[in-house]
């Protein structure tokens, strides 16, 4: 059997409702890696947040990859090399923090393993902090603290407010950045033309493989592109309907070892059949 690349979203896909990876899923991932298949963690999370999960799966030893910031950065877990990345226009950073202040929402970016934010720190920002294990550092002038290239900014607001601002920001800045939501309360602000599918396509090319070798699993709207792109696109049972619409297969939910089921059915079983 040819080598497969398994791209996994994290929240709502690889992890269960408690943000944990079940023992059975860990076991199946270990087995497929031992057979030479490749695991790619494909997430909207910042790189340090993805790295925490990669460590649990021993991707540095087994030769996996991290696709973070929704695809704005792709990194080799074994060597630490950044294979490619895209960054925000530098002048957009103060603009977005000013917009957040005007509309009274949270706004953050990531630097040196910390969250750089404005003075509004809401419960959604607290969630981002806990999930990724990153300290929140609020500033009156957060843009002045940003000294490194930015892969992503993230706005936080109650869902209805976030939906309105998604439309507003796309109208005002859609020619310069991509605007979307990964969760009803997370407003994703990314470099133009960044998505999981585009970055996975580049990674497949770098590895000398095609999209037919790619299996992609996800549950959220930001997973839709990679599920549609992959040779086998898999939606979780708990996925949004718009994600299921583009999937080739719907697996069990993230609380029912849906990822382990995919590995058994489409990777390990086929390898055992020769």
The catalytic site residues sit at 9
Report the alpha-carbon distance of residue 256 to residue 71 in Å, rounded: 27
**Is the separation of the CB atoms in 32 and 240 below 8 Å?**
no
The pair of structure tokens assigned to 180 is 């979307």
Q: Provide the β-strand partners of residue 106.
A: 156
- How far CA 252 is from CA of 36, 51, 147, in Å, comes to 25, 25, 43
| DSSP designation for 222 | G
Cα separation, 203 vs 47, whole angstroms: 17
DSSP 267: I
**Helical (H) or strand (E) element with 165:** helix 159-173
């Amino acid at each position: 059997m040819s080598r497969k690349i398994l791209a996994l979203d994290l929240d709502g896909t690889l992890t269960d409702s408690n943000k944990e990876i079940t023992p059975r899923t860990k076991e199946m991932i270990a087995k497929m890696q031992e057979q030479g298949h490749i695991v790619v963690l494909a997430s909207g999370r910042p790189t340090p947040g993805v790295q925490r999960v990669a460590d649990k799966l021993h991707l540095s030893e087994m030769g996996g990859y991290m696709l973070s910031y929704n695809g704005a950065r792709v990194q080799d877990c074994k060597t630490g090399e950044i294979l490619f990345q895209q960054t925000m226009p530098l002048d957009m950073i103060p603009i977005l923090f000013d917009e957040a202040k005007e509309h009274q929402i949270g706004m953050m970016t990531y630097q040196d393993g910390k969250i750089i934010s404005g003075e509004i720190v809401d419960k959604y920002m607290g969630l981002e902090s806990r999930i990724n294990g990153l300290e929140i550092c609020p500033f009156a002038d957060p843009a002045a603290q940003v000294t490194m290239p930015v892969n992503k900014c993230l706005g936080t607001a109650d869902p209805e407010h976030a939906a309105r601002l998604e439309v507003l920001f796309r109208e005002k800045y859609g020619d310069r950045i991509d605007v979307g939501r990964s969760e009803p309360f997370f407003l994703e602000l990314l470099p133009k033309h960044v998505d999981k599918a585009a970055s996975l396509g580049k990674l497949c090319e770098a590895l000398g493989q095609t999209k037919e070798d790619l299996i992609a699993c996800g549950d959220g709207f930001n997973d839709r592109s990679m599920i549609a792109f992959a040779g086998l696109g898999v939606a979780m049972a708990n996925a949004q309907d718009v994600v299921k619409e583009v999937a080739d297969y719907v697996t069990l939910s993230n609380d029912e070892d849906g990822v382990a089921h995919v590995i058994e059915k489409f990777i390990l079983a086929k390898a055992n059949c020769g």
